[in-house]
Amino acid sequence: MTEKRTLKEKLIARHWVNCEKQDLARLALQSPAPGIATLCDIPYIDDGRKEHLLDIYYPDGTEKPLPVIINIHGGGFTYGYKELNKYYDMFLASHGFTVFNLDYRVAPETRFPGQVQDLSAALHWVAEHGGDYPCDMNNVFLVGESAGGMHVMFITLIEHNPRLQELYGVKPVGLTIRALGLMSGGFVFTRGLGKAVMAGPMFGKGYRRMETYKILDLDTMQYIEKLPPCYLVTSEQDFVTNHSRRFAEILQQKGVEHVLHVWPKQKDPPLGHVFSLLYPTWDESRQTTGEMVEFFRRKGILEKYL
């Protein structure tokens, strides 16, 4: 049973109602990339829940395995579903990838450990069943925006961290993850806006005492040096620009190869939070996606696909 919502969670839910109206209006004006095969609502946990479904996209007529992108949507850990990312993921598929678009439960339906467990189950499903689709499972890339960026980083980190596996009740997936794409990632939760606004809804009452919360401190998080190469993008008009900057500093300290692209301020169009996903056909978005795909090409074994 879903626990009773706090006042903060009610206010956040009201905010997301308005966001959903904007998202649906935005999608109504967009069109899918042509020539993309779509397989929708495949259960990765067969329990009848819509949050435990995924979609798959790849170019029509694909006859050989393609490199794989797994996309995890954002939404402040309290909002979002895979359909909001579908046109972006089709656009990614048009670059010659098989793309998995994952859904998962959000807070307060389930708190942060439950979200991690959902995503781990989804990745285990991809690892087990990816070969049934046009997938080169030796070339896998994870992409996420906002809260999805945090999930991408964390779910990858869990692969190398036995303590996190024990704490969150998950097992290593074993995928060959070549690189990460992190758009406007929300990485800072133990201080500042992340702690003030999101920590309670993410973890529930008493979160300050929870090991599952305290272990998210970037300054003390272990095994970051084992992350694969990371492509990070944000903008000066992004309200969490500092998150990407801070994470890039830590990657630099840990010796993790990475690229950070911070778009400057501009008026037409304004480059706000996760703009390249929201408006994939903007010139700036096409450039961003092109940079990320090129970064993936260099970090994977992709020459045979070009």
The answer to whether residue 304 scores a pLDDT higher than 50 is: no
Q: What is the pLDDT of residues 256-294, one digit of tens each?
A: 999 999 999 999 999 999 999 999 999 999 999 999 999
Q: What is the pLDDT of residues 252-266, one digit of tens each?
A: 999 999 999 999 999
Residue 2 inside a domain? The answer is no
How does DSSP assign the chain, residue by residue? Answer: -PPPPPHHHHHHHHHHHHHHHHHHHHHHT--PPTTEEEEEEEESS-SS-GGGEEEEEEETT--S-EEEEEEE--STTTS--GGGGHHHHHHHHTTT-EEEEE----TTTS-HHHHHHHHHHHHHHHHHHGGGSSEEEEEEEEEEETHHHHHHHHHHHHTT-HHHHHHHT-------EEEEEEES-----SSHHIIIIIHHHHH-TTGGG-HHHHTT-TTT-S-GGG---EEEEEETT-TTHHHHHHHHHHHHHHT--EEEEEEPP-SSS---TTHHHHSTTSHHHHHHHHHHHHHHHHHTT-GGG-
Q: Are the CB atoms for 72 and 15 separated by under 8 Å?
A: no
Residue 280 inside a domain? The answer is yes
Residue 42 inside a domain? The answer is yes
Q: What is the pLDDT of residues 111-147, one digit of tens each?
A: 889 999 999 999 999 999 999 999 999 999 999 999 9
Residue 40 inside a domain? The answer is yes
Task: Work out the pLDDT band at 301, boundaries 50, 70, 90.
Answer: low
Residue 1 inside a domain? The answer is no
Residue 198 inside a domain? The answer is yes
> Can you read off the two tokens belonging to residue 71?
């996309």
200 compared with 34, residue with greater pLDDT = 34
For residue 306, the model assigns a pLDDT of: 42
The answer to whether residue 62 scores a pLDDT higher than 50 is: yes
Supply the pTM of this predicted model.
0.94
Residue 164 inside a domain? The answer is yes
**Structural domain boundaries, residue 240:** 7-305
Cα separation of the two ends of the chain: 50
Q: Domain count of the chain?
A: 1
What CATH number does the domain containing 68 carry? 3.40.50.1820
Percent of the chain residues topping a pLDDT of 70: 94
Residue 279 inside a domain? The answer is yes
